[in-house]
């Protein structure tokens, strides 16, 4: 009986070692895909975003940091390129999608996304901010 017990112990240790070795040699897929985000700082003020257009390369992880300087503003962007079907495949993949981000005066709002597919993506103000509100827009161009 003792021999069998030892045998089981050896097998257990062996299995444990294999699992451990596997864990140590395989980089975690999450870490492997971890890419440093390209930080883009934007200013939102009556009645424009600057700079605009902003160019990024396809496949880039982007972190927008938008500061509203003079008034509350908003940020709304389509996830498909301007010339694509509205229900087409999203080319911008947002970490936490929202219809309209509120940009509070004097604050910086962070928006993360993956710029997956080339195209021009127009964004607009979605917080009524004055007479020129409807014309307040900017562009992200994914090359
Ligand atoms: Cu506005």
Query: For the whole model, what pTM was predicted?
Result: 0.76
Residue tagged 């509350």 (tokens): 72
Tens-digit pLDDT profile for residues 23-74: 566 555 555 457 799 999 999 999 999 999 999 999 999 999 999 999 999 9
Phi, psi at 58, each rounded to 5°: -60, 140
Tens-digit pLDDT profile for residues 76-110: 999 999 999 989 999 999 999 999 999 999 999 99
The Cα–Cα gap between 66 and 100 comes to: 13
Half-sphere CA count of 29, side-chain side, radius 13 A: 0
Task: Calculate how far, in angstroms, residue 6's C-alpha sits from the geometric centre of ligand 1.
Answer: 74
Task: Calculate how far, in angstroms, residue 61's C-alpha sits from the geometric centre of ligand 1.
Answer: 27
Task: Calculate how far, in angstroms, residue 103's C-alpha sits from the geometric centre of ligand 1.
Answer: 10
List Cα–Cα distances, 34 to 28, 30, 60, 61, 119, in angstroms: 10, 6, 11, 9, 24
Task: Calculate how far, in angstroms, residue 129's C-alpha sits from the geometric centre of ligand 1.
Answer: 4
Task: Calculate how far, in angstroms, residue 90's C-alpha sits from the geometric centre of ligand 1.
Answer: 25
């Amino acid at each position: 009986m003792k021999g069998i017990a030892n045998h089981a112990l050896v097998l257990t240790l062996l299995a444990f070692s294999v699992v451990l070795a596997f864990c140590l040699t395989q980089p975690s897929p999450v870490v492997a895909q971890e890419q440093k985000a390209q930080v883009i700082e934007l200013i939102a003020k009556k009645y424009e975003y600057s700079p605009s257009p902003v160019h990024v390369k396809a496949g880039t992880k982007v972190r927008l940091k938008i500061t509203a300087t003079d008034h509350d503003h908003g940020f709304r962007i389509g996830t498909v390129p301007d010339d694509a079907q509205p229900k087409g495949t999203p080319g911008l993949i947002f970490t936490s999608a929202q219809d309209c981000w509120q940009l509070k005066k004097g604050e910086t709002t962070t928006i993360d996304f993956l710029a997956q597919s080339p195209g021009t993506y127009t964004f607009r103000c979605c917080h009524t901010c004055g007479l020129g509100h409807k014309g307040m827009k900017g562009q992200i161009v994914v090359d």
